[in-house]
Amino acid sequence: MIQFRDFSFRYREGADLVVRDINLTIPDGCFVGITGAAGSGKSTLTYAVNGIIPHCYPGDFYGEVSVEGLDTMEASLTDLSQLVGSVCQDIDSQMVATVVEDELLYGLENFAVPREEIPGRVTEALAAMGIADVRDRTIDSLSGGQKQKVAVASVLALRPRVLVLDEPTAELDPASSVAVFDLLARYAREHGTTVIVVEQKIALLSDYADMLVIVDGGRIRFADAPEAVLAHADTLLALGVNVPRATTLVNALADRGLYDGPAVRTVAGAVAAAKEVLA
């Protein structure tokens, strides 16, 4: 679905490359979590996928990024936006309407979705995010979490092949964060959508992602299944990336010679490892 080939980028106003020598393949339908320390280049990678780079943020673009065969440098932003739906970190800046239903209608009408399809798409997207009850509410009356879900629903209504989200749970409490990831994971499974999430909450990413990508200093340090990446917990901590407590516990057991299995990413995995040690 998505291919980075020797991709490097320098913003026009910057002196140094922000990302460099990126080679990464993201399969169709994959749920990808991207994390790293602040300023490591995480968001720049997503901008290269949705076409914000180079169409909105110009600079020196090297290599190639393609989405479903479309070269993001050559394709228009309009063509890319029909493939890739994006939810930015600043939700308020993304809202264009005053009422929830109108927010979803805006994108559908701009992409000339057939009139007869629109009501069904609006209903489906709101239901997918669990917010059918706020359809007629004004956006300024919603909580931060509800706004996040409206922003995602407005993108889902367009039925993109790829969904890119930058810090989608930044304003949410732990329970709401889990709820959003549950909804995203279920939607991805049901529709075969490729999901890319930039997120600092490593435990959430480890629970839901098929692939973890760790970015450090503009380079990819790890890109693999969560268990394989979390096996390098000491290196991750040195890079400023926390690891789930479940991983820390099991790694401590391994360091003491009590456990010799693979790294774990979930509480359930840690419980199973602890039972094995205590058996």
Q: What is the pLDDT of residues 196-227, one digit of tens each?
A: 999 988 888 888 999 999 999 999 999 999 98
User: Using an 8 Å Cβ cutoff, are 45 and 95 in contact?
Assistant: no
The confidence score (pLDDT) of residue 180 equals 83
Separation between Cα atoms, residue 190 and residue 265, nearest integer Å: 24
- Parent domain of 188: 1-83+160-238
Strand (E) or helix (H) holding 267: helix 267-278
The confidence score (pLDDT) of residue 129 equals 84
Mean pLDDT, residues 242-252: 88
* pLDDT for residue 171 is more than 80: no
The domain boundary, picked from 131, 159, 187, lies at: 159
Cβ atoms < 10 Å from Cβ of 45: 29
The confidence score (pLDDT) of residue 138 equals 95
When divided into structural domains, the chain yields a total of: 3
The domain boundary, picked from 115, 137, 159, lies at: 159
* pLDDT for residue 66 is more than 90: yes
Same domain, 51 and 168: yes
User: Using an 8 Å Cβ cutoff, are 212 and 42 in contact?
Assistant: no
All residues at 6 or more sequence positions from 203 whose CB lies less than 8 Å from its CB, including other chains: 244, 245, 246
All residues at 6 or more sequence positions from 275 whose CB lies less than 8 Å from its CB, including other chains: none
Position 88 in a domain: no
Position 140 in a domain: yes
Same domain, 224 and 277: no
Mean pLDDT, residues 55-67: 93
Mean pLDDT, residues 67-84: 90
Mean pLDDT, residues 167-185: 82
Same domain, 219 and 124: no
Same domain, 73 and 149: no
Mean pLDDT, residues 245-265: 87
Position 89 in a domain: no
Same domain, 155 and 187: no
Same domain, 255 and 208: no
Q: H helices within 168-258, ranges in order? A: 174-191, 202-208, 226-230, 233-238, 245-255
All residues at 6 or more sequence positions from 59 whose CB lies less than 8 Å from its CB, including other chains: 9, 10, 11, 12, 14, 53
* pLDDT for residue 26 is more than 90: yes
Position 148 in a domain: yes
Q: Give 97: exposed, middle or buried? Use CB within 10 Å, 0-12, 13-18, 19+.
A: middle
| DSSP letters spanning 52-66 | HHHHTS-EEEEEEEE
Q: Give 130: exposed, middle or buried? Use CB within 10 Å, 0-12, 13-18, 19+.
A: middle
Separation between Cα atoms, residue 150 and residue 142, nearest integer Å: 9
pLDDT tens column, 85-127: 998 877 888 889 999 999 999 989 988 899 999 999 999 999 9
User: Using an 8 Å Cβ cutoff, are 259 and 253 in contact?
Assistant: yes
Amino acid at 264: V
All residues at 6 or more sequence positions from 276 whose CB lies less than 8 Å from its CB, including other chains: 259, 261
The confidence score (pLDDT) of residue 255 equals 87
